[in-house]
């Protein structure tokens, strides 16, 4: 259970997040936590709730709001994903999502840089935390040992948060860090395993890093890159090897989105996951959406870094172990 100091910091952190978006003329919205259907995503298992589901992300509702005419919206809410538990995972966790029209994933990267800068300005005065002079002190020794068996350093790391942050394409990251090419990894269905084992531990060690341009198969809701339909305009933000946010240019072609959902639903059927159905009204609304981009940020993970903690369970008011 979070102590009073921790609760105070968490509250100030939430307040600072909100005021950043309000200052930028984003509208704070809230959407139902319990919904009758979710977007079909193979690797996300929802928690059932009396025939409906607890949301795995507010994406579906927020994109419909965008299609209905909102131009900048954000939401801070709890999301649920069954079976996700670990140092960086809780089945119930806090998500920050923001969406803007007339924007691409590159605009969201700039948003991330500005958001963290604003957080640092607001929070630096509140001790105790791991932040000083636009730098972040991160712990070590708690991470998973790398392929050579070594854990991260011995005395912690200092990460500069001054923008601009690093940007690295997925392709380049695999060339640099992976023992196999990205094509081989995709063919062998080991992209995720290679990413976790060989690539992620190197990302965002000196300053935050955006890993961008994923194979299109790995961005079922993301727009394909103009001139290169094999790539999706999707990125992940990493700090100290930890994935913090996933953003993309929204796919707004409802026909293509339908085809991608069909493939996703087929694979879910093959793997005998929970049955899902086509989100028809979402697809209808998508037809009214023009250029847009949206991002989901794991708030507990960011708070964990700012508070100098080693697991997300240490920064939520009550973790499962506290009951």
Partner 1 sequence: MYTAADLRKGLKVQIDGVPYIITDFDFSKPGKGQALYRCKMRSMITGNQLVQTYRSNDKFDKPDLEERKMQYLYCQGEEYHFMDTGNYEQLVIDKEHLGDNVNYMIDNMDMEVLFFQDKPIDVSMPMFVNLMVTKADPWAKGDTSGSDSKPVTVETGYVLQVPPFVEEGDKIQIDTRTGAYVTRVKE
Q: How far apart (Å, rounded) are the C-alpha atoms in residues 272 and 17? A: 39
Please select the residue that binds partner 1; options are 51, 69, 86, 227, rule is CB under 8 A: 86
Residue 59 binds partner 1, judged by CB under 8 A: no
Write the CB contacts of 43 (distance below 8 Å, at least 6 apart in sequence).
none
Please select the residue that binds partner 1; options are 68, 196, 226, 278, rule is CB under 8 A: 196
Residue 197 binds partner 1, judged by CB under 8 A: yes
* CB nearer to partner 1: pick between 115 and 131: 115
Q: How far apart (Å, rounded) are the C-alpha atoms in residues 191 and 43? A: 13
Please select the residue that binds partner 1; options are 27, 193, 226, 278, rule is CB under 8 A: 193
* CB nearer to partner 1: pick between 129 and 199: 199
Least distance (Å) between residue 63 CB and partner 1: 16
Q: How far apart (Å, rounded) are the C-alpha atoms in residues 291 and 7? A: 39
* CB nearer to partner 1: pick between 23 and 275: 275
Least distance (Å) between residue 174 CB and partner 1: 13
Q: How far apart (Å, rounded) are the C-alpha atoms in residues 194 and 208? A: 20
Please select the residue that binds partner 1; options are 18, 87, 171, 263, rule is CB under 8 A: 87
- Residues of this chain, 135-174, that bind partner 1 according to CB under 8 A: 144
Q: How many residues bind partner 1 (CB under 8 A)?
A: 25
* CB nearer to partner 1: pick between 133 and 142: 142
Residue 43 binds partner 1, judged by CB under 8 A: yes
Q: How far apart (Å, rounded) are the C-alpha atoms in residues 256 and 121? A: 42
Which DSSP helix (H) or strand (E) runs through 106?
helix 105-123
* CB nearer to partner 1: pick between 195 and 231: 195
Q: Which residues pair with 96 in a beta bridge?
A: 76, 297
Residue 219 binds partner 1, judged by CB under 8 A: yes
Pairing of strands 157-160, 135-138: antiparallel
Nearest to 8 by CA among 137, 136, 134, 129: 129
Within a 13 Å sphere around the CA of 245, how many CA atoms are in the beta-carbon half?
A: 26
CA separation, residue 79 to residues 19, 46, 300 (Å): 22, 10, 12
Q: How far apart (Å, rounded) are the C-alpha atoms in residues 139 and 127? A: 17
Instruction: Name the one residue in this structure whose structure tokens are 């293509």.
Output: 256
Please select the residue that binds partner 1; options are 220, 249, 252, 276, rule is CB under 8 A: 220
Please select the residue that binds partner 1; options are 3, 50, 270, 271, rule is CB under 8 A: 271
Write the CB contacts of 50 (distance below 8 Å, at least 6 apart in sequence).
none
Window contacting partner 1 (CB under 8 A); options: 15-23, 71-79, 178-186, 188-196: 188-196
Please select the residue that binds partner 1; options are 94, 104, 240, 246, rule is CB under 8 A: 246
Residues binding partner 1 (CB under 8 A): 41, 43-44, 83-89, 144, 191-193, 195-197, 200, 218-220, 236, 243, 246, 271
């Amino acid at each position: 259970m979070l102590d009073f100091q921790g609760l105070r910091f968490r509250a100030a952190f939430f307040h600072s997040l909100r005021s950043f978006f309000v200052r930028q003329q984003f509208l704070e919205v809230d959407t139902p936590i319990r919904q009758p259907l979710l977007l079909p995503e193979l690797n996300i298992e929802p928690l059932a709730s009396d025939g409906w589901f607890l949301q795995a992300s507010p994406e579906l509702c927020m994109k419909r709001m965008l299609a209905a005419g909102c131009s900048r919206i954000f939401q801070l809410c709890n999301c649920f994903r069954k079976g996700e538990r670990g140092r960086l995972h809780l089945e119930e966790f806090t998500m920050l999502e923001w969406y803007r029209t007339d924007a691409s994933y590159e605009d969201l990267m700039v948003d991330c840089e500005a958001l963290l800068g604003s957080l640092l300005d607001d929070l630096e005065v509140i001790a105790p935390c791991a932040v000083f002079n636009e730098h972040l002190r991160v712990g070590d020794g708690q991470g998973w040992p790398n392929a050579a068996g070594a854990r991260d350093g011995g005395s912690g790391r200092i990460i500069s948060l001054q923008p601009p942050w690093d940007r690295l394409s997925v392709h380049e990251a695999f060339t640099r860090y992976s023992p196999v090419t990205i094509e081989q990894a995709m063919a062998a269905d080991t992209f995720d395993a290679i990413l976790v084992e060989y690539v992620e531990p190197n990302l965002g060690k000196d300053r935050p890093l955006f890993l961008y341009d994923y194979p299109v198969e790995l961005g079922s809701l993301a727009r394909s890159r103009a001139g290169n339909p094999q790539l999706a305009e999707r990125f992940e933000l990493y700090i100290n090897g930890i994935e913090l946010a996933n953003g993309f240019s929204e796919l707004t072609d409802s026909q293509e989105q339908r085809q991608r959902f069909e493939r996703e639903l087929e694979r879910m059927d093959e793997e005998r996951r929970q049955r899902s159905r086509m989100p028809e009204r979402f697809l209808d609304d998508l037809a009214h959406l023009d250029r847009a981009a949206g991002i989901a940020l794991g708030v507990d993970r960011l708070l964990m870094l700012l508070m100098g903690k080693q697991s997300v369970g240490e920064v939520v008011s009550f973790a499962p172990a506290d009951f």
